[in-house]
Amino acid sequence: MSRIYFTVSLLFIALHLSGQNPIDKALERFNSGDLPYVDSETAALWQQKDSVVFLDTRSYEEFRVSHLPQAQFIGYKEFKPEKAKDLNLDKSSPIVVYCSIGVRSEQIGLKLKALGYNNIYNLYGGIFLWYNQNRSIVDSTQKPTREIHGYDKNWANYIEGGNPRF
């Protein structure tokens, strides 16, 4: 698993230096495309209408630093099918999964799909793009924050401004 993250980090550095959009390239390379994306503008509209559930698929430490408002933690390494049941998710309600940029969230979204959840979307660009577009994030007490977990120093390069933490 750490080999994958090392490879992704190297890819991000190489793409950054070449001037190409690293998030687009990473998603193209590492995601299957079997889970539809939703852009942050559409997801934010759904959020305003309170018609969607956001699931954070990052580590609990990343979630604790900051997350999307009203998001619920489901985790990545910590993910268990029982967690979805514990959250009382309606299998037909819209669910948006997200992580840093959208790689881990696609994997969890596909697991949820296999469990019968049939209206799942992957937030394109994850919390990093959401943040870069000046959309609000909150801390563990639900207060707005500009702190964000950068996953590691390489991934944090794709966060514009703010206070990345590790």
Q: How would you write 31-87 as a 3-class SS string?
A: CCCCCCEECHHHHHHHHHCCCCEEEECCCHHHHHHCECCCCEECCCCCCCHHHHHHC
The residues near 137 (Cβ < 8 Å, ≥ 6 apart) are: 66, 67, 68, 69, 127, 130, 131, 144, 145, 146, 148
List the domain boundaries for the chain: 2-165
Whole-structure pTM value: 0.85
Residue 4 has what pLDDT? 53
Cα diameter, the chain:
45
Lowest mean pLDDT among 10-24, 89-103, 107-121, 133-147: 10-24
The predicted model gives 85-98 an average pLDDT of 93
Q: Which 3 state secondary structure label does DSSP give 124?
A: coil
The predicted model gives 82-102 an average pLDDT of 93
Q: Phi/psi zone of residue 161: left (φ > 0), alpha (ψ -120 to 50 degrees), beta?
A: left
Q: Which of 10-14, 83-87, 157-161 has the highest mean pLDDT?
A: 83-87
* Residue 155: its H or E element: helix 153-156
CATH tag for 2-165 (out of 3.40.250.10, 3.40.50.720, 3.20.19.10, 2.40.50.140): 3.40.250.10
Residue 68 has pLDDT above 80, yes or no: yes
Bigger pLDDT: 119 or 158?
Answer: 119
Residue 97 has pLDDT above 70, yes or no: yes
Cα–Cα distance, 91 to 117 (Å, whole number): 4
